């Protein structure tokens, strides 16, 4: 009789353990929950949609292997959650060939790189390097309010150089210093 009672207890414990395991897996989002960066990227609007919908946009160029990008992911997710409907957060993976044109267009040569756009979809600034949650909130608030970007290391405004001026400058390289000219 004691042996059958031991089997029942072991069976009950095994059932409880299995139920707890299933509950834990369910609460954590499944067996293979998406990384925060991947989850954010999957929720992102397409860039052309984000730039034309009348909301300011923050674009992050990232990579899954980038430690700084992964460290920023929870703060980016929180910014997206808090500013939903007021600010578009778009993530573009630099390892995805789909974004090659954007990498060239925005001269991405380091990550994380944030591109900042006003409500009309005009580029107004860039932030290079890791950002804290407070810095991301400050950038998001400035974009939403249409205020000047906060003064932070690695953050700068983008000039309003139109296409004709860019072609003229390119045709006359002696008139303007290039970032690659170290003469």
Q: What pLDDT shows up at residue 157?
A: 74
Domain that holds residue 103: 36-171
Q: Is 141 helix (H, G, I), strand (E, B) or coil?
A: helix
Residue 125 annotated in active site: no
Q: What pLDDT shows up at residue 165?
A: 47
| Same domain, yes or no: 2 and 84 | no
Whether residue 100 lies inside any domain: the answer is yes
Q: What pLDDT shows up at residue 3?
A: 55
Quickly tell me which residue has 């139109």 as its tokens.
162
Number of domains composing the chain:
2
Residue 157 to residue 126: CA distance in whole angstroms: 6
Choose the catalytic residue: 47, 50, 59, 69.
69
Instruction: Note the pTM of the prediction, 2 decimals.
Output: 0.68
Q: How is 1-14 classified by DSSP, letter by letter?
A: -HHHHHHHHHHHHH
Choose the catalytic residue: 66, 72, 91, 138.
66
- Residues 6 or more apart in contact with residue 113 via CB below 8 angstroms: 60, 61, 106, 126, 127, 128
Residue 155 annotated in active site: no
Q: Which residues of the chain have pLDDT under 70?
A: 1-5, 23-35, 154, 158-183
Whether residue 179 lies inside any domain: the answer is no
Whether residue 110 lies inside any domain: the answer is yes
């Amino acid at each position: 009789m004691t042996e059958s009672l031991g089997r029942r207890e072991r069976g009950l414990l095994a059932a409880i353990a299995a139920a707890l395991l299933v509950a834990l897996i369910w609460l954590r989002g499944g067996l293979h929950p998406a990384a925060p960066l991947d989850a954010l990227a999957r929720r992102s609007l397409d860039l052309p949609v984000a730039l034309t919908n009348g909301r300011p946009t923050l674009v992050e160029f990232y990579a899954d292997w980038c430690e700084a990008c992964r460290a920023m992911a929870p703060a980016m997710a929180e910014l997206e959650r808090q500013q939903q409907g007021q600010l578009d957060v778009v993530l573009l993976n630099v390892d995805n060939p789909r974004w090659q044109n954007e990498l060239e267009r925005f001269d991405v040569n380091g990550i994380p790189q944030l591109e900042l756009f006003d409500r009309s979809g005009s580029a107004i600034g860039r932030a290079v390097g890791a950002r804290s949650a407070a810095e991301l909130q400050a950038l998001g608030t400035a974009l939403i309010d249409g205020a000047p970007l906060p003064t932070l290391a690695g953050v700068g405004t983008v000039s309003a150089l139109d296409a004709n001026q860019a072609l003229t400058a390119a045709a006359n390289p002696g008139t303007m210093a290039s970032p690659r000219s170290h003469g």
